[in-house]
Amino acid sequence: MTSTGSILVVDDDPAICVVVGEALRRQGHKVKTASSIRERSALIDSFAPDVLITDVMLPDGDGLEGVADILDRKPGLSVIILSAQNTLNTAIRATEKGAFEYLPKPFDLNELSRAVGDALGMNKAEEGKQEDAGLPHDGLPLVGRSPAMQEVYRTIARVLSNDLSILVLGESGTGKELVAEAIHGLGQRRTKPFVAINMAAIPRELIEAELFGYEKGAFTGANVRTAGKFEQAQGGTLFLDEIGDMPMEAQTRLLRVLQSGEVTTVGGSKPVRVNVRIIAATNKDLPKLIDENRFRQDLYYRLNVVPISLPALRERREDVILLAKHFLERAAQEGLPRKTLADDAAQLLMAYHWPGNVRELQNLMQRLAVLSRENVIAAEVLRNSLPLDLVPSDYTAPADQLGLAVREWAKRQLGIGIGQPNRNLHDDMLAVVEPILLQETLASVDGNQIRAAGLLGINRNTLRKKLTDYGLDPLQLRVSD
């Protein structure tokens, strides 16, 4: 059960004030709205809200500025930041200013009301108000504005001021190590070492010696006592990459270290206390490895305190061009000729399915920056000049296009903004779409109705009736063009 409270909504878009205000009023909250920083300040005093929901871009300034001051004056207030500047930077700034929650625009109303519920359910007085950690904001490494990346930014912003263990999940090349570096580089341990170790890159029998160190004479070739990665990372962050490849015996030892906070070197007997933040990463399905007895469940729970899932690049195609431009720009800053992307090249990049994810895109852009003779990179160049089989995949693009087409069609039929709405929408839609689907399917099986019905997943008699209804002649559908 969510308690109710008084809420001040600040946005210069009247539509947002109306929609959000109405939704919250319906849940029993008292709501007032404001459209500028000036109005906001006045209402903070006169209305004394429990929760402030504020946009960042306001007509008289940056809505984030001043939030820290407001919180100084009203320590019990919960602040929810709404922002269309959906970058890691904004998420971090919001958290630093003491905001309780950051919601990227466009936001989901359910998510907003969940955040309001959470805010009212918390005792804000001692929670959430963090000191401005003075974190550096320049050169933030992560590029991408897709909803999936915004979720990643929000989680990163939340873990900067604590030491919780993090498990970064995602396919190879999605940026797992970059996320680990960002958490370290922006967090409170940033002046201490960041040490990375890749379990898949070290011979299995050497992993324990690498991680925990070894004494002189512990094994052949151990000529001097050597500190392991844990000791090297003292006070900082240890990034355990490809954790799914860690041998079972090493897992047992790692778990012991995490539980006790002490490391004993291979061949040694005197434990050393260590203070490191652990960030692990994998592209493997750890629960499956646990089922197969190849990964310890108790270690999994220890590591997976805060999971961060990185989407594959094909699942956030809206970021492809942004990333491609970012890599071309970086190449230019390194002294290579400045290149830009032609529209058709951009489309080709968007359509590709990027099995190697961001790393593959980065490599391609670097190669283009070096090899391409033209300053504007056209699709032709991508197709012909590179040793890359850039065949567009139809992974989701056609479905996206179909979705867009349906959306446009529905809007028009519903008369949004103009005229009277159509009241036979469903049948009319089917009448447009279904004949095309039937024609294409029949053509692909040379007019064979039994096979077409099988592919369509409908009964043969149903198919025949539909063909009659639509006036389609299966005999004329033998050759697909």
Q: Min. distance of Cβ 246 from ligand ATP in angstroms?
A: 15
Q: Which of 31, 70, 120, 143 touches ligand ATP by CB under 6 A? A: 143
Q: What is the CA radius of gyration of the chain?
A: 28
Residue 21 binds ligand ATP, judged by CB under 6 A: no
Q: Give the whole-angstrom CA distance, residue 253 versus residue 230.
A: 12
All residues at 6 or more sequence positions from 408 whose CB lies less than 8 Å from its CB, including other chains: none
CA distance 109 to 20: 7
| CB-based contact 143:284 (threshold 8 Å) | no
Binding of ligand ATP by 176 (CB under 6 A): yes
Q: Which of 49, 98, 173, 185 binds ligand ATP (CB under 6 A)?
A: 173
- Give the nearest distance from C-beta 279 to ligand ATP in angstroms: 11
Shortest Å distance, C-beta 357 to ligand ATP: 7
Toward ligand ATP, which CB reaches closer, 128 or 144?
Answer: 144
> For ligand ATP, which is the closer residue by CB, 117 or 175?
175
Residue type, 287: P
Closest CA to 132 of 171, 92, 101, 162: 92
222 is a contact residue toward ligand ATP (CB under 6 A): no
> How many angstroms separate the CA atoms of 275 and 237, rounded?
9
Binding status of residue 175 toward ligand ATP by CB under 6 A: yes
Residue 311 binds ligand ATP, judged by CB under 6 A? no
Pick 179 or 257: Cβ nearer ligand ATP: 179
Task: For residue 236, state whether it binds ligand ATP (rule: CB under 6 A).
Answer: no
Report the C-alpha gap between 130 and 71 in whole angstroms.
10
The full length of the chain comes to 481
CA distance 345 to 361: 13
Residue 237 makes contact with ligand ATP by CB under 6 A: no
For residue 467, give both structure tokens. Answer: 């063909």
Q: Helix (H, G, I), strand (E, B), or coil: what is residue 373?
A: coil
- Amino acid in position 205: E
- Residue 151 CB, nearest distance to ligand ATP (Å)? 13
Among 49, 98, 104, 144, binds ligand ATP (CB under 6 A): 144
Q: Which of these segments, 139-147, 224-232, 254-262, 270-278, binds ligand ATP (CB under 6 A)?
A: 139-147
Interface segment toward ligand ATP; rule CB under 6 A; list 171-179, 243-251, 429-437, 442-450: 171-179
Cβ-closest position to ligand ATP? 175
174 in contact with ligand ATP (CB under 6 A): yes
The pairs formed by 252-258 with CB atoms below 8 angstroms and a separation of 24 or more are: 252/296, 253/208, 253/211, 253/212, 254/211, 254/299, 255/296, 255/298, 255/299, 255/302, 257/212, 257/230, 258/165, 258/299, 258/302
Interface with ligand ATP (CB under 6 A), residue from 61, 69, 109, 172: 172
Specify the residue, 116 or 358, whose C-beta has the smaller distance to ligand ATP.
358
Selected from 98, 128, 170, 187, the binder of ligand ATP by CB under 6 A is 170
Interaction with ligand ATP in 334-363: which residues (CB under 6 A)? Answer: 358-359, 362
Query: Which of residues 101 and 242 has its CB atom nearest to ligand ATP in the complex?
Result: 242
Confirm or reject binding of residue 283 to ligand ATP (CB under 6 A): yes
Cβ at position 175, least distance to ligand ATP in Å? 3
185 binds ligand ATP (CB under 6 A): no
CB of 193 within 8 A of CB of 234?
yes
Contact between 120 and ligand ATP by CB under 6 A: the answer reads no
**Cα–Cα distance measured from residue 298 to residue 126, given in angstroms and rounded to the nearest whole number:** 32
Q: With respect to ligand ATP, which residue has the nearer C-beta, 155 or 283?
A: 283
Q: Is 78 in the site for ligand ATP (CB under 6 A)?
A: no
The residue among 172 and 476 lying less far from ligand ATP, judged by its C-beta, is 172
- Of the two residues 210 and 231, which places its CB atom closer to ligand ATP in the complex? 210
142 near ligand ATP (CB under 6 A): yes
Reading phi first (left if > 0) and then psi (alpha if -120 to 50, else beta), residue 471 is in left
CA distance 111 to 327: 34
Taking CB under 6 A as the binding criterion, the range among 136-144, 230-238, 347-355, 428-436 that sits at the site for ligand ATP is 136-144
- From residue 104, alpha-carbon distances to 83, 116, 148, 152, 157 in Å are 5, 15, 11, 11, 13
Give me the helix-helix angle, 320-333 and 357-371, nearest 10°. 50
Assess contact for 262 and 274: CB atoms under 8 A: yes
For ligand ATP, the closer of residues 4 and 366 by Cβ is 366
CB of 20 to ligand ATP, least distance (A): 30
For ligand ATP, the binding residues (CB under 6 A) are 142-144, 170, 172-178, 241, 283, 323, 358-359, 362
